[in-house]
Structure 1
Amino acid sequence: MEGQKLSRPVRLTLAGVFMGLFLAALDQTIVATALPRIVQELGGHRWYAWVGVLYLLGSTIAAPVSGRLVEIFPRKAVLIGALSLFWVGSALCGAAPTFLGLLVFRFLQGVGGGALFSLAFTTLAWFFSPRERSRWAGVVGALFGLASALGPVLGGYFAEHLSWRWAFWVNLPFLTLALLFVVWYMPHQPPPVSAPMDWEGTLLLMGWVFPLLLAFSCWGPERIAPPWAGVLLLGVAALIGTWWVRIEKRQAEPLFDLSLFRLRTFRYAALAGFFFGPIFLGGVTFFPLYLQGVLGYPPSESGVLLLAFTVGAVGSTGAVGAWVSRHGRFKPVLMGSAVLLTLLLAIAAVALPAALALGLLLGIMVVGGVLLGPFQALLSVVGQNDAPASRVGSVTSAIQFARQVGSTVGLAFLNTLFLGGRGLGGHLLLGLKAVFGGTALLGTFLLAALAALPNVRLRSERISTTQ
């Protein structure tokens, strides 16, 4: 579709997909500021952290499953199913009569949201070549940045002025519109292969992912269980994970074809996603703490200030997407961004100030958004470059899966550093410096993964929508 005007059905299909993606990303952060009011009304102080954990669990497991579903079932049906599941989960979360009910519905909502994360990039692969996808992936990156900034602001507003239930119900009219766009306008696209679903592999995947993610939720300030339980869960995850790998190698049509890791571009794009995930999530989690706890901004103002990140991210994703679409080169952009981002994080680890002028603060936040933007836009597109058309769903979802798992593991690591740094002198600033040191270390690992990527151009051919 390069150089061609998009048809109305394609434009409206993309509008529906992007709307669903934005709302799924919004729900990762909107609940945080509404959660104190939820606990006040429904109780559940003991299970406070589970609201976020269960959404992450649902979204992580949904990524690889939805990626395989679009390879063996009609694509339109899978996308409608993901939007519908997210709609139902949002409605039930808002109507939850008890905290336990909210937890169950939050997991359901996470499954729908995780599927939408994966399907957004897969949808781009159906309509555009890898080179042209980079331009549209910039839109996806901008949506993630905007959702991360708006979520806490909207959650706090609903909890204070309306009801915390609107933090979930706000999704419903927009999801309804997204569903109508997809149902009415998305072109029919039959699955690229005819094969049975690997339900055994799916169940075993759940069997090791659940204890793995729960294990890393047993450390940190909001741990859900004692640390010894985390060690036990890691052992369970290792055993079931080993079993899963053996089963998948024997399957004729596995949930995820492990031979795809022989593709160098995919392998290192997934590894880069694993390390980028906690860098991004660590910033979203801890930078508001710096704004409020160290610089003294109230929650409402800190939420508005975070929009500076979005301004930088939107600008860079648009510019990077256009440049890569024109030239096809992605590695110089990613390497340059990673070097500067790691340097910025290292400086913060050493010299994070206790006071900062507003203009300088906003400038630093814009620069941070600019440096994060290219990764949001390009990693999935890069991983798809060498993938066969019949496996583009699996490749896309695997990169998203790697990022989700990396975010969980990395955030537990950063939480540990935060507690250790703060414990040295009881100062919040010391804990935050330790966190930035940890993210700088993750940045060096990100650089190593990017350095291993082949220095090639993105392909100009696209997948046929009738495959």
Structure 2
Amino acid sequence: MASTDSAEQSLSSDYKSADADKKATISPTTYISTNDLSHVDAEKHLSPTANDDDPLSPEEERVINGWRWALACIALYISVFLFALDNTIVADVQAPVVERFGQVEKVGWLGIGFPLGGCMACLTLGKLFGLFENKWLYIASIIMFEAASALCGGAPTMDALVVGRVWAGLGGVGMYLGTLNLISSYTRTAERPLYIAGTAPAWGLGCILGPVFGGAFADSSATWRWSFYLNLVLFGATAPVLLFILKPVRPQPNTPLLEKLKSVDWTGGALTLAAYALFVVPVTFGGAQWSWGSGGSIILFVLFGVCLIALVLQQGFSILTTPERRVFPVDLLKSRTQILLYISTACGACALFTGVYYIPLFFAFVHNTNGIHSAVHLLPFICVAITVAFFGGILLPTAGRYMPFYLVSGSFQLIAACLFFTQINTDTSSAKIYGFSALMGVGAGLTQQAAFSISPMLVPADRASDALNFISLAQTSGILLSLTISSAVFQNVGFRNLQNALRGLDLPAADIHAALAGAKSDLLTTLPPAFREKAIVAIVNALRDGYLLVVAGGSIAIVCALLMKRGRMTFAPPTAG
């Protein structure tokens, strides 16, 4: 590993040699330049022995203080909450949406569309946050998210709803990246892990309330449409804070607008967008609407391969761009730790969202619970994940060594996934499911946000935006891949299992696919008791197979943790105020 270690040291060499005499004094009325903030006395900034004469005191650095800072944090965390909420809010509204629009073959897009939009836009938006005024780019992303939510709420067709979900994902990832960049710009290095850790409970709370809110609205006279209109209400409550309290952050204040636009790697962004879309479309429709060997599926997979190769070559050789302007931070791949953090973050996201979507489905099918009660059964999983993520973020700077956190996280993911895969059936007690869920919550939550604090510490501080973007892409990609693959497994294996279980009834394929959209489908509610019991067993077996993805992810996470450095990373003690 000598070559990767030396490469990693070169990534942070500029950071450690920053001008120790440079001072940063910013009044509440000035624009923040992240370049100015990033080259201050790096060793003193990270040292736990910094004295009272440190010129980088919170009063000198912090441009928002007191109650204004409290309101700013609340508003920023609410945007993270909304982003997480929309990731999971469709978990319990699929059946009423299918009842309204039909087209059950497209129901998977309700969950997949949102992270797909995020993945397609993540890299380009990350670069834009490193170039343009952060506050207004963040607010523009929120407006885009809210407009997409309005489209979803008022969608006249399934296609319009799917478009709205993808569009909302694009705006949502902009909100998320904006929050991370603004928090990083507004806080000292010493306190940054604490405030970044604060995104974990906001994220977790949104994940848990997504199915709850979705189920509640779906079961009420308000209908599932208010699952999306809710975003407009919450945005209205925070708008004054976003507009009048957040301070502008200008990463490159002296660069002309036209030069900034020219510097964006639009080619890399377009290839990234195309590669994600060309992968997700055939996998989502495969076996449900198209056969895997159909001409359409083959053509899309070939085009995906071509786009992926083109993206690798374009980024690797800086075609139509420069090494500094590439949309993907290729130089981070020289760092062993950055690669391992990327993979581990994706694995953690896979565990989190597999649990969020498929634990409620178990209770919906086996216990015939409604949307609200199915979501309530998710509480042990998410509550543990939230708690562990928050306290893990607080303990990380004190412990210094991040490798044990990732080793424990991967181990719990693997143990929980193995229990789900081997133990669940129609007779499994709720208590056992809660226990398995809590174990997975530990694994999914412990390192869910950790890399957002670690990764920026390994690069020059003016590259912190690239590091945050890198990890955000890992998290969003983990969500997208887990939902895409698990949905394909559930739809294909579930369809085959149901066909075998209901053999002799001569049911149309469309009815069998519709049964997989919810326990209250017309097919499942009208089946004779003996056949219904066989159908539920078939569906639970398909749900169980989906946890194989988490088994693989947990195993990979353990390997990544064992390859991480054992040394101590020095953080200053986290402080709040």
1:342 to 414, 428, 433: 414
Counterpart in the other structure of 1:276:
348
2:249 aligned with 1:210: no
Equivalent residues of 2:398, 2:571 under 8 A apart: no
Determine if contact 2:115/2:477 at 8 Å carries over to the other structure: no
The equivalent of 1:238 in structure 2 is 305
Q: Given the alignment of the two structures, is residue 332 of structure 1 paired with residue 404 of structure 2, yes or no?
A: yes
Distance in 2 (CA, whole Å) between partners of 1:163 and 1:174 is 18
Change (3 A) 1:408 1:90: closer
1:150 aligns to 2:222 (yes or no): no
Give, in whole Å, the separation in 1 of the partners of 2:367 and 2:93.
22
Deviation at 1:69, TM superposition (A): 0.6
- 1:435 has 2:540 as partner: no
Bigger shift: 415-424 or 138-147?
A: 415-424
1:198 and 2:265 correspond: yes
- Deviations for 1:280-334, whole angstroms, at most 9, x for unmatched residues? 2222222222223335544432211212222212221222122113233322122
Residue type matched to 2:565 in 1? P
Which residue of structure 1 lines up, in the alignment, with residue 115 of structure 2? 56
Look up the match of 2:375. 303
Q: Which runs of structure 2 are paired with 1:296-445 in the superposition (5 Å)?
A: 297-415=369-487, 418=490, 419-420=492-493, 427-445=538-556
State the 1:215 CA deviation: 3.0
One-letter amino acid matched to 1:198:
D
What SS does structure 2 have at the residue aligned with 1:385? helix
Please tell me whether the aligned partners of residues 57 and 210 of structure 1 are also in contact (alpha carbons under 8 angstroms): yes
SS in 1 for 2:93: helix
User: Judging changes above 3 Å, is the alpha-carbon distance between structure 1 residues 111 and 39 closer, same or farther for their aligned structure 2 residues?
Assistant: same
CA drift of 1:73 comes to 0.5
Higher mean Cα deviation, 90-99 or 422-431? 422-431
Amino acid at match of 1:96: A
Q: Which amino acid aligns with 1:55?
A: F
| Equivalent residue letter for 1:238 | G
2:140 aligned partner: 81
- Whether contact under 8 Å (1:266, 1:384) holds in the other structure is no
User: 1:382 deviation in Å?
Assistant: 2.2
Aligned equivalents of 2:162 and 2:544: distance in 1?
33
Could you tell me which amino acid in structure 1 is paired with residue 555 of structure 2?
T
Q: Which moved more, 1:107-116 or 1:287-296?
A: 287-296
Counterpart amino acid of residue 307 in structure 2? I
Q: Gaps (5+ residues) in structure 1? A: 463-467
Q: Within 5 Å, give how 1:118-137 maps onto structure 2.
A: 118-128=177-187, 132-137=191-196
Q: Residue 15 of structure 1: CA displacement?
A: 1.8
Amino acid at match of 1:380: F
Instruction: Say which is worse superposed, 332-341 or 74-83, in terms of deviation.
Output: 332-341
Larger relative contact order, structure 1 or 2 (CA cutoff 8 Å, min sep 6): 1
Using the alignment, how far apart are the partners of 2:104 and 2:420 within structure 1? Answer: 34
Larger Rg: 2
Q: Measure, in 2, the Cα distance between the counterparts of 1:154 and 1:458.
A: 40
Maintained 8 Å contact 2:93/2:215: yes
| Contact in 1 for aligned 2:131/2:252 (Cα 8 Å) | yes
Structure 1 residue aligned with 2:238: 178
What is the RMSD of the two structures over their aligned residues, measured on CA atoms? 2.9
Change (3 A) 1:354 1:130: farther
Report the residue type matching 1:348 in the other structure: F
Could you tell me which residue of structure 1 aligns to residue 292 of structure 2? 227
- Return 358-367 or 434-443, whichever deviates more: 358-367
For 1:391 and 1:232, locate their aligned partners in 2 and report how far apart those are by CA, in whole Å.
Answer: 38
Can you list the C-alpha shifts for 1:100-146, whole angstroms capped at 9, x where unaligned?
33333332212111222333333332234566433333332222222
Greater displacement, 67-76 / 95-104: 95-104
Relative to structure 2, which stretch is displaced further, 188-197 or 142-151? 188-197
Partner of 1:465: none
Q: How far apart in 2 are the matches of 1:209 and 1:123?
A: 27
Structure 1 contact 30–151 (Cα < 8 Å) conserved: yes
The code of the aligned residue for 1:12 comes to L
| In 1, Cα distance between equivalents of 2:367 and 2:122 | 38
Structure 1 Cα separation of the partners of residues 458 and 357 of structure 2: 34
State the distance in 2 between where 1:365 and 1:139 align. Answer: 23
Paired letter, 1:304: V
Q: Secondary structure at the match of 2:251?
A: coil
CA deviation map 1:148-204 (0-9, x unaligned): 222122112212321322111111121123332222111222114844222222222
Question: CA-to-partner distance for each residue in 1:39-68, whole Å, 9 max, x for gaps?
Answer: 433454453333333323211112112211
Q: Which moved more, 1:349-358 or 1:161-170?
A: 349-358
Q: d(CA) in 1 for partners of 2:77 and 2:349?
A: 20
Q: 1:114 aligns with which of 152, 170, 173?
A: 173
Counterpart for residue 163 of structure 1: 223
Deviation string 1:224-280 (CA, Å, 9 cap, x unpaired) is: 543233443232122122222333332222222311211232221111123223222
Distance 1:422 1:454, change over 3 A: farther
* CA-CA distance at 1:364 after TM superposition: 3.7
Percent of matched pairs sharing the same residue: 22
Question: 8 Å contact 2:355–2:437 — kept in the other structure?
Answer: no
Q: TM-score, normalised by structure 1?
A: 0.88
**What is the rounded CA distance, in whole Å, between the counterparts of 2:211 and 2:82 in structure 1?**
13
Which whole-Å CA distance do the structure 1 matches of 2:407 and 2:67 have between them?
37
- Alpha-carbon distance in 2 for matches of 1:455, 1:231: 45
Seen in structure 2, the aligned counterparts of structure 1 residues 118 and 175 have a Cα distance that, compared at 3 Å, is same
The answer to whether the 8 Å contact 1:260/1:266 transfers is yes
- The amino acid across from 1:167 in the alignment is S
**What one-letter code is carried by the residue in structure 2 that aligns with 1:443?**
G
SS state of the match for residue 247, structure 2? coil
Once the two structures are superposed, the pairs formed by residues 4-83 of structure 1 within 5 Å of their partners are: 7-83=66-142
Q: Which amino acid aligns with 1:148?
A: C
Evaluate the alpha carbon distance shift between residue 95 and residue 458 of structure 1 in structure 2; reply closer, same or farther with a 3 A threshold. Answer: farther
Higher share in helix: 1
Deviation at 1:97, TM superposition (A): 3.1
Instruction: Look up the SS of the partner of 1:54 in the other structure.
Output: helix
**Alignment-mate amino acid for residue 304 of structure 2:** A
Q: Give SS of 1:376's match.
A: coil
Q: What are structure 2's unaligned runs of at least 5 residues?
A: 1-44, 49-56, 60-64, 502-537
The 10-residue stretch of structure 1 (76-85 or 230-239) with the greater mean CA deviation from structure 2 = 230-239
Question: Is 1:188 the equivalent of 2:260?
Answer: no
